Structure 1
């Protein structure tokens, strides 16, 4: 009977991090969609939004990893506006039933930069000067007030794609999103019903209104009609 050959064991190199949990590459934008934020939902890649701003908390968590970061990790990829008072924009407060003290309301547990309700000599007040929710250096952009869907038809390749975009974005910013599908998208003239679009203006400003509210009022599927723009390659001599 042949001797059993042991399965070789490979140890992970020092500093190894599972690629599944590495921060996802992203491009800085003025506005982000909720879908984009939802992709950054781990301890190593943590985005949250509140009051229509998007915060990248990844490095903050890495630098302060511990129990106080767990609520932030649980909330990664979501909107946490409900954690804060709309007037002060600081964490909400409530009356604690055990101590009858007015204290910070933390529904998922006390989180980073929230002091303990009772005196605690281990709580470090010197590690930060501004709590993270007021640290604008962590803010990477704004959360769109409304997303829109746009159909982009490439008249050269005949590709027909649908993009989710931010209603506040200019056509140039939408072009930048489309580069993930076509890296040569800047080499095209963008038109709507034969009319070149002003790339410095938004869809609305280019007379492409958002009609989804009307569709909802009429009980029509809001995706029943998605406005389309046509891309004409600039070097195509057949295009006038």
Structure 2
């Protein structure tokens, strides 16, 4: 492995000169759109393969096989994937997502937007932009925008399952469980008494008196 972990990946990336002035928010937007771009391109490629559409790749050596059988020696499948990425075109959170024949985004200004509820309506708001230059990328907030305007607490919210602590049990459930447990203990005592009193009877001897006592004891422990 590379030895780079999530805890220090962002810090290492921020120290690169080409990412000067790029915030962690900018990284999340690019990652989000990048994942969607890959998903859309793979969907386009799978449809091409399903329809046996080799347009533009007819003379490329290799076999048109399912994506699950991809390998780096199959040049035809690689050609299909490159063409699929060139057909990607959708509006992402960082602007229009489309690529030229060299695999680079056509836009040199990448927009960053956030969904906000304004007057009860979900609205997409521009919060900043990244200008892609030759040797570095520069992120600039829109006027009036900052880290404090993006999130209520000034930082992204916790992305996970909420943790709810139960301070006390429901009274009704406690009563039901207690009544059921008491009934079980009473029934266990009745069975033990029956097993002891009639231990010499044939009906008890056939079922092993000692084994019955062990089962009754285990049941009583469960009810307590």
TM-score band, normalised by shorter chain = under 0.3
Bigger radius of gyration: 2
Choose between structure 1 and 2 for higher RCO, CA contacts under 8 A separated by at least 6 residues: 1
TM-score, normalised to structure 1, is 0.20
TM-score by length of structure 2 reads 0.21
Instruction: Tell me which protein shows more helix as a share of its residues.
Output: 2
Higher relative strand content: 1
